[in-house]
Amino acid sequence: MPNQEASFLEGVPAIEADGLAVRFPVRGGVLGKVKDYFTAVDGVSFTLSQGKILSVVGESGCGKSTLVKSLVGLVPLASGSVKLFGREVHEGKVAMDGGKAMRVCDLVQMVFQDPFSSLNPRQTVSEILTAPLMARKVSFEQAQRRACELLERVSIPVGAMEKFPHEFSGGQRQRLCIARSLMVSPKILLCDEVTSALDVSVQAQILHLLDDLRRDLGLSILFISHDMQVVRAISDDVLVMYFGKVVERGVADEVLTNPQHDYTKKLLSCVPTIRN
Amino acid sequence: MKIRLSTETLNRLKRFRKNKRAFWSLVVLVVAYFLSLTSPWTVNDEPLVLRYEGKTYFPAFVRYSDADFGGEYQTEADYGKLFEAVRECEEDAAEGFTRAGGCPEVWAVMPPIAHDPLKADLSEDGAPPFAPSARHWLGTDSNGRDVLARLIHGFRICISFSLLLTVLGTFLGIVIGGIQGYLGKFWDIGMQRMIEIWSSLPMLYVVILIGSIYGRSFWLLILIMAAFNWISLSYYMRAEFLKLRGMTYVQSAKVLGMGHRHIFFKEILPNAMTPVVTLFPFTLIGGIGSLTSLDFLGFGLQPPTPSWGELMSQGLNNLYAPWISVSTVAALFVTLLLTTFVGEGVRDAMDPKSGDRYV
């Protein structure tokens, strides 16, 4: 596996983000010149400790997803710095001991919100799962073996290998996505609203799976959600975002039971309950 | 690794199979093309098997010289003359003039259509073109060459040309349009402007110009025409790639650290094949049409290559010999019609709404 030989310091945070900012150009006029910038993420700093789950909450459009995408390079960072296990990320790479560099994609993986569009409809499960390892020069047999292991880990029958994504339910697809991201043995998993497209009973299964994985594989998880119940159930720490800025942060229980910021209070009062 | 077609592909194949007209047109075309591929041996004036003086020869497949059959020269044997000589000898023998050594024993299996498309048959009285007869089923052209033989060889060359042209043009269209859509931004706009300039070049003049400098060879003609053939497909591919590169599965492939080549060919391209497959038969028709018209104008393949366009211009020049133009136009009409049926079938099969009737 790609990063088994890499050594990581104990006690160092998995992610240290400092002053992250993402800006999108706003174009206008006949020639489409850049008129202005929209700041989606505005000076966000946070720390994700090893083996912990940090939740980022906030309403739709507050920049949660953009924040995660900027960590894996899907969206370019305007400013700010990211350290993974105490090592600075530079052009999608982390410098390792002995002058070697490690790609961020070998360390950090991401699971997307919509399980229906995040699996290629033209590829079998086997192709989907083995491709990341084959791209890393692992033999097909080895990749296949690892794929079978991971399918078992996420409780999908191994007979699924020759099936296509549309033959699975939403929850099973999300498990496949999780299995795919684990193929490269990452240390950090970014989950972008992984449960919001699923119904409640399946949500619980996925949350249990993530918690089990965190424990068994020592994963550090950055969990994004707008669902306060889900956040309460799973997270160790919470980061509350509002219009691209962090308005409150802290240990999950404290923030969710005794919110300090007005926005957090409002967010918590929006949680629907049956009585009143 | 077992190849499994996706359900969508299987459904499309099923829909195409259901369209009887398209399916049987495809069968006829494919069978006709594969039969025509054997035409260098089966539509030829050289015997398939020849027994001469107790020895067996395969003249259609192997080149024998005149010297092998008692001649003096190392030139290719002329089997027509050989049979003639043997017949004369036997006639002489019947009349009582036995030659020294007797007549050679000859026994041959001739191809089903025993005419060479390049050789003139002037054995009949008068001047060509000769009308259809038992010897020449569709008559001969104004040079005395068998029309049927030239039609069959012309079909083989025409379809091969058009297939190669379409494959090459499709490849260029996918790669260029795909790169535009995949990279986006100023690459997209810049390349689009270049393509617009390129597409405003008149293809016919370029073909005539380059043909007059470098000669009119099969491969050169394919290259020149392919350089113009990809443009319409590239528009579709650009749009498909622009649409698909934003899909979550493409983003997740990026996050997984896949290379550009994998994302381009494995993630996006299989999902962008609809315009490729739909346009393929119609581009093929365009290829047949443009080769025929170039040949008709005399700027196509080098004569005496058998070609439909050249036959048509002969038909036009010899209007009193209608068998030339009628058979050529009929052959072209049937070929284009069948290909259009296949194209329609493919288009309908790719379109999930095709069976719907909005009344």
What fold characterizes domain B7-40+149-350? MetI-like fold (1.10.3720)
Mean pLDDT for the stretch of residues B262-284: 90
Mean pLDDT for the stretch of residues B331-349: 92
Rounded Cα–Cα distance for residues B80 and B69 (Å): 12
- Give how far B252 is from chain A: nearest CA, Å: 7
Amino acid identity at B232: S
Q: How far is CA B188 from the centre of its chain?
A: 35
Token duo for residue A270: 């929006």
Grade residue B357 by pLDDT with cuts at 50, 70 and 90: low
pLDDT at residue B2 greater than cutoff 60: no
User: Across the interface, which of A110, A119, A135 has its CB nearest the CB of B259?
Assistant: A135
How many beta-carbon contacts under 8 Å exist across A and B? Answer: 72
pLDDT at residue B71 greater than cutoff 80: no
Burial of A258 (0-12, 13-18, 19+ CB in 10 A): exposed
Question: Are residues A121 and B256, on separate chains, in Cβ contact within 8 Å?
Answer: no
A124 CB near a chain B CB, below 8 Å?
A: yes
- The mean pLDDT value of chain B amounts to 86
Nearest to A103 by CA among A95, A114, A111: A95
- Spell out the alpha helix ranges (H) of B264-307: 273-297
Rounded Cα–Cα distance for residues B145 and B117 (Å): 6
Question: Are residues B251 and A119, on separate chains, in Cβ contact within 8 Å?
Answer: no
Rounded Cα–Cα distance for residues A27 and A33 (Å): 5
Instruction: Walk me through the domains of chain A, giving residue ranges and CATH numbers.
Output: 15-269 (3.40.50.300)
Question: Do the bridges between strand A87-90 and strand A79-84 make them parallel or antiparallel, or are there none, so unpaired?
Answer: antiparallel
For chain B positions 232-251, those within 8 Å of chain A (CB to CB) are: 247-249, 251
Rounded Cα–Cα distance for residues A237 and A46 (Å): 10
Mean pLDDT for the stretch of residues A1-7: 48
A109 CB near a chain B CB, below 8 Å?
A: yes
What 3-state class would DSSP assign to A41? strand
B270 CB near a chain A CB, below 8 Å?
A: yes
User: Across the interface, which of A109, A118, A166 has its CB nearest the CB of B248?
Assistant: A118
Rounded Cα–Cα distance for residues A174 and B4 (Å): 23
Question: Are residues A119 and B249, on separate chains, in Cβ contact within 8 Å?
Answer: yes
* Whole-number Cα distances in Å, A106 to A126, A129, B202, B256: 20, 15, 52, 8
Q: Which residues in chain A have Cβ-Cβ distances shorter than 8 Å to B247?
A: 117
Mean pLDDT for the stretch of residues B105-115: 81
Q: What are phi and psi of A227, to 5 degrees?
A: -100, 110
Question: Are residues B256 and A124, on separate chains, in Cβ contact within 8 Å?
Answer: no
The percent of residues above 70 in pLDDT, for chain B, comes to 95
Grade residue B339 by pLDDT with cuts at 50, 70 and 90: very high
A133 CB near a chain B CB, below 8 Å?
A: no
What pLDDT is stored for residue B192 in this prediction? 93
Question: Are residues A121 and B251, on separate chains, in Cβ contact within 8 Å?
Answer: no
Q: Which residues in chain A have Cβ-Cβ distances shorter than 8 Å to B271?
A: 120-122
Question: Are residues A103 and B257, on separate chains, in Cβ contact within 8 Å?
Answer: yes
Mean pLDDT for the stretch of residues A32-47: 86
What pLDDT is stored for residue B191 in this prediction? 93
pLDDT in tens, B245-254: 888 999 999 8
Domain range list for chain B: 7-40+149-350, 46-110
Rounded Cα–Cα distance for residues B154 and B307 (Å): 4
Rounded Cα–Cα distance for residues B167 and B283 (Å): 9
Grade residue A253 by pLDDT with cuts at 50, 70 and 90: confident
Nearest to B294 by CA among B168, B214, B205: B205
What pLDDT is stored for residue B356 in this prediction? 53
Q: What is the largest CA-CA distance in chain B?
A: 95
pTM score, two decimals?
0.83
Rounded Cα–Cα distance for residues B329 and B326 (Å): 5
